Structure formats: C-alpha cells, structure tokens
Amino acid sequence: MALEAATSVGPAATTGAYVSRTTTGPVQVAGEVLTVKRVGAYHHLTLVAPGVADRFRPGNFVALAVGGALSDRLLRRSFSIYRARPTGAYGGTVEVVFAVTGPGTRWLSKLAAGTTVDVVGPLGRPYALPKEPVACTLVGGGCGSAPLFSLAERLRERGCGVHMVLGASTENRLFGALEAKRAATTVVVTTEDGSIGIKGAVTDVLPDLLARSSSDVVYACGPKAMLHAVAETAELHGAWSQTAVEDSMACGTGVCMTCVLPVVGEDGVTRMLRACVDGPVFRGDRVRWDDVGTIPEDTLGAPRRGGPQ
C-alpha cells in the first residue's frame, strides 16, 4: 500500500520549481466574516476569502490575523480548514472551528458579520491520500475532527472505505458527530465522562475498529497525546498513520521557527521540523512524540554534550 507523496501547497513547495504568486501556494487576502456560530463548546467561523478554496487540500490550514489592522496582538492564529468552497453566493469561502483559549480566539468568536480578517492560506502539507481504494480510519479529538470531513469526502471519491472515531472529554466538546454519520460508513463516539457514546478515549476503541475495518491508513488530528497513541496503535496494526499536529505558530508561513518538533527523516536522522511548512501532517511513525518539547541528543545540530556548541 503506498501513499501518494503529499505534494505541499504551502511555501515549502517552492523547493526546486518556481511557484508563481498567482497560481499555487498560499494567498493573503482580506477576508470578510460571513457568520460565527456556536457549536457546543466551539465556534464555527465562515469567512469569504477568495483564492483559498481553489488551492485547498484536506489537512491544510489558515493563519488568521487577530484584532484588526492596529492590533497589539501580532501573532497569527492557525486553524485547520474545516471546509473550503471555491464558489458560492458570496464568492470563495473558508470555514474553521475553534475553542476560545485566549484573547485572539475570543476576538474571533465575537466578530460581527462583515468584519475584515486578514487570511493567509491554504498553508502546510495536506494529508497524503492512498493510491488504491483501501479502508481508512479517521480519528478526531475535540474540534480536531474539523479537517476530517473534507478528507472523508476526498477518500470516498477515491473509493476508499471511511470509518470515523470522534472523541472528546464531554458531549459539548465533540465536533461533527452528526455530520460524521453522513461522511463515514462506521462512526464511533467516545467521551471521557461517558456523557455520550462509549466512555473512554478514542484509543480505547481504535484497535477493535482497525481490526474490524482492516484499515490500511489512519488519519488523525487532535492533541499530541492522542496523536501519539493513534500512531502507536496504527503501527501495531500494520497501518500507516497521518497525524496533523495542532501547534501554536507565530507566523504559519515558515519564517519564525517557533513551531518545531523532532521528526525522523527518511535518512534516519532526527531534525527539528516546522509544523507549519514541513507539517502539520506528519507520518505518525516519524514523529518522536515522547521527545516533543525537547531537543533529543541525536538531533541534527543538537548541542554537544559537555559544553556549549
């Protein structure tokens, strides 16, 4: 079973061939808020942002500037793209789902329709798709499920079987459980408090689902601890895993070097890779999950032991 190379549509794609500022790669556009809706514990923001949808592939994200043009909050907030529509009554739209975690997301959650939000996207490497029509399991934690629905659509177009596992701490932190029933053949829901579905974590039900569905690929998006567990479970079942990390990024475009994590390359060498341009989707078996937040000693360029570099 082979996965197609995840051709990057982000700035990383500029390696080698010339990438025009007008046909591929991310666009920067003054987006306009269409709606902000509450969905359980989350907010669902729809922006008119022409140009983003045309280049979108599942797993891509957008980086939004917050607070307006004179904001004292300079860093962009990055969100997986939930849906992107190239055309519609309002022109191209892009949709994201997020939890309010600080002043930036609070600002976004209270936007009135018509407000301008600077949008950069689509960014990052998307999920790699299987070449053959194999069975796939998609695992989402919290609103990490958002990018999985457009992925499910692409997989079904390729004749792939689609199974979904959605997990959260409690019912109102689940996102897309109803939509999942339309998007997937099998849907399993877990909550830590048992308020809906099976009481437990996604990884409690994953081994059984992988076995029953004979999945060849596991796609996941959510907190790192969940991705770690999903990657291990996938490996035990001989499946590929494609994990999308949700890192805080300052720029989203590859220039700030803040969103790094240790990833093992094809050559066996560990490098600190940027989640924004080298990810956010990584092969789950390549990420050194236990070492996230550190510079492992054998990383390329790690400080030498016994003295400063």
For 284, the token pair is 């789950």
Q: Which residue among 39, 113, 236, 257 contacts other proteins (CB under 8 A)?
A: 257
Instruction: Name the minimum Å distance from CB 53 to other proteins.
Output: 16
Cα-to-chain-centroid distance, residue 187: 20
**Residue matched to tokens 């407000």:** 115
Residue (45 or 66) nearer to other proteins, CB: 66
For residue 43, the SS3 value is: strand
Stretch that binds other proteins, among 9-17, 86-94, 157-165, 218-226 (CB under 8 A): 9-17
Q: For the window 65-84, what string marks contact with other proteins as x by the rule CB under 8 A?
A: x-----xxxxxx--------
Distance CA 286, CA 235 (A): 11
Q: Which residue among 113, 188, 255, 305 contacts other proteins (CB under 8 A)?
A: 255
| Strands, E assignment, the chain | 27-39, 42-48, 61-64, 77-80, 83-85, 93-98, 116-123, 135-141, 161-168, 186-191, 198-199, 217-222, 240-245, 260-264, 270-274, 281-283
Distance CA 255, CA 265 (A): 21
Count of residues that bind other proteins according to CB under 8 A: 44
The answer to the question of residue 293 lying near other proteins (CB under 8 A) is: yes
Stretch that binds other proteins, among 40-48, 172-180, 244-252, 278-286 (CB under 8 A): 244-252
Instruction: Name the minimum Å distance from CB 291 to other proteins.
Output: 9
CA distances from 254 to 33, 234, 290 (A): 26, 29, 24
Q: Which residue among 36, 99, 118, 285 contacts other proteins (CB under 8 A)?
A: 118
Residues 6+ apart with CB under 8 A from 13: 7, 19, 24, 25
The answer to the question of residue 253 lying near other proteins (CB under 8 A) is: yes
Q: Which residue among 6, 8, 25, 163 contacts other proteins (CB under 8 A)?
A: 25
Residue (63 or 217) nearer to other proteins, CB: 63
Distance CA 224, CA 220 (A): 10
Distance CA 167, CA 189 (A): 6
Cβ 279 vs Cβ 255: under 8 Å = no
Stretch that binds other proteins, among 105-113, 141-149, 196-204, 271-279 (CB under 8 A): 271-279
The answer to the question of residue 301 lying near other proteins (CB under 8 A) is: yes
Instruction: Name the minimum Å distance from CB 115 to other proteins.
Output: 17
Give residues in contact with other proteins (CB under 8 A): 11, 14-15, 19, 21, 25-28, 65, 71-76, 118, 120, 248, 250-251, 253-261, 271-272, 277, 292-295, 299-303, 308-309
